[in-house]
Amino acid sequence: MARQNISVDQKKEHAVSVRIRDVYKSYGDHLVLKGINLTIEPGEIFAIMGPSGSGKSVLLRQVAGLEIPDQGEIRIDDHAPDLTCMGETRVGMVFQSGALLSSLTVEENVGLFLEEHRLKSREEIRKTVSDKLRTVGLEGVESKYPSELSGGMRKRVSIARALVIEPQLILYDEPTSELDPVSAVTIGQEIYRLKKSMAITSIMVTHDRQLVQGVADRVAVIYDGKIIAVGTPDEVWKSQNPKIRDFLHINFNLDNISL
Ligand SMILES: Nc1ncnc2c1ncn2[C@@H]1O[C@H](COP(=O)(O)OP(=O)(O)OP(=O)(O)O)[C@@H](O)[C@H]1O
Ligand SMILES: [Mg+2]
């Protein structure tokens, strides 16, 4: 592939805003996103919660530019989403499944983008990769294959992979699923540290209530393809909307279980 004219070292030093306006998305006759409106401020950690199947991953894919909405518009600063990072803004994505390539080592997976686009020399790529692995608390796993790692380690590798491009916007789909509680807190702290130390805007889709209360500036609740609440975690937790209460305050109820 031809050498590109951009370098990840020529990074813009500002976090970006994300504006989602009236976004609709369907697959065949299944309408999934039903008019989503959200504005995410530069530097925010913005959480999206909601029941399984409500459209969270679909929404994230539209923001990443992996899919194009049927209607409506998404703007990252003033630009259309573009996960290739060859455009105006650099967007990193941590997929729900991790999405590592099984035939490549950890080092090759994390460095793949830089390697493919020849953005740095081999030696610089090697150094960047181990820096980013250290950032997510992994060291000495460069030569391992994904199948040799635990689910939590794979998740961290996929976060490191998103970080190598020095993203201005990072999209996390379930960053703490598959993690034990201690590792989940570590990742939450890492998301917070990234926000503090770099010009980075974060959107995280998650079911992890502790993560949202711990690090999110604001949270939106999506229900059946529509946003039904947006606010600080405290505001949303106090909501009297039964759909939100049922979802956020769910606890075991064994009283009505019959045999
Ligand atoms: N590529 C696709 N083709 C057809 N239907 C899809 C596609 N992607 C998602 N869907 C449908 O869209 C709906 C929302 O899916 P999505 O993956 O966004 O759920 P989610 O909110 O992320 O759920 P979870 O919490 O389980 O990850 C589901 O009914 C799903 O079947
Ligand atoms: Mg999902």
Is the beta carbon of 140 within 6 A of some atom in ligand 1? no
**pLDDT value at 7 more than 70:** no
Same domain, yes or no, for 136 and 209?
no
Greater pLDDT, 7 or 73? 73
Is 173 in the same domain as 161? no
> Mean pLDDT over residues 85-92, rounded?
75
pLDDT at 141: 92
Q: Is residue 84 part of a domain?
A: yes
Task: Tell whether 153 and 128 lie within a shared domain.
Answer: yes
Q: Tell me whether residue 134 is in a domain.
A: yes
Structural domain of 247: 12-90+169-251
> From the CB of 206, is ligand 1 less than 6 Å away?
no
What is the best residue among 27, 62, 247 to mutate for testing ligand 1's pocket, by most ligand atoms within 8 Å of CB? 27
What local confidence, expressed as pLDDT, does residue 63 receive? Answer: 95
Residue 212: its pLDDT value, please?
Answer: 96
Q: What's the 52 CA to ligand 2 centre distance in angstroms?
A: 7
Judge if 140 and 41 occupy the same domain. no
Count up the domains in the chain and report the number.
Answer: 2
| Residue after which a domain boundary falls, among 130, 165, 200 | 165
Average pLDDT over residues 99-121: 87
Q: With respect to residue 190, please indicate whether it lies within any of the assigned structural domains.
A: yes
One domain for residues 225 and 246: yes
Residue 259 lies in a domain: no
Cα of 57 from ligand 2 centre, angstroms: 4
Give the residue, 121 or 97, on which the prediction is more confident. Answer: 121
Indicate if the pLDDT at residue 2 is higher than 50.
no
Kindly state whether residues 59 and 161 are assigned to the same domain: no
The answer to whether residue 3 is domain-embedded is: no
**In the prediction, which pLDDT does 8 show?**
44
Q: Based on the fold, state whether residues 76 and 112 are members of the same structural domain.
A: no
Out of 120, 148, 165, pick the residue that ends a domain.
Answer: 165
Mean pLDDT, the chain, as a whole number? 87
Give, as residue ranges, everything with CB less than 5 Å from ion ligand 2: 57
Q: Are 189 and 137 found together in one domain? A: no
Whether 4 is in a domain gets the answer no
Q: Say yes or no: CB of residue 54 within 6 Å of ligand 1.
A: yes
User: What is the distance between the alpha carbons of residues 99 and 114, in angstroms, rounded to a whole number?
Assistant: 17
Instruction: Note the pLDDT of residue 180.
Output: 83
Residues 152 and 174 in one domain: no
Share of the chain above pLDDT 70, in %: 93
Residue 6 lies in a domain: no
pLDDT single digits (tens) 156-205: 899 999 988 888 999 999 998 878 888 888 889 888 988 887 789 999 99
pTM of the model: 0.88
Residues 228 and 186 in one domain: yes
55 lines ligand 1 (CB under 6 A): yes
173 and 85, same structural domain? yes
Residues 176 and 75 in one domain: yes
Higher pLDDT, 135 or 59: 59
With respect to residue 21, please indicate whether it lies within any of the assigned structural domains. yes
Tell me the pLDDT band of 87, cut-offs 50, 70 and 90. low
Compute the average pLDDT of residues 33-40.
98
What's the pLDDT score for residue 84? 65
> What integer pLDDT is reported at residue 83 of this predicted model?
67
Q: For residue 71, give the CATH number of its domain.
A: 3.40.50.300
pLDDT higher than threshold 90 for residue 121: no
Q: Which of these three, 109, 132, 165, is where a domain ends?
A: 165
The pLDDT > 90 percentage for the chain reads: 52
User: Does 29 contact ligand 1 (Cβ within 6 A)?
Assistant: no
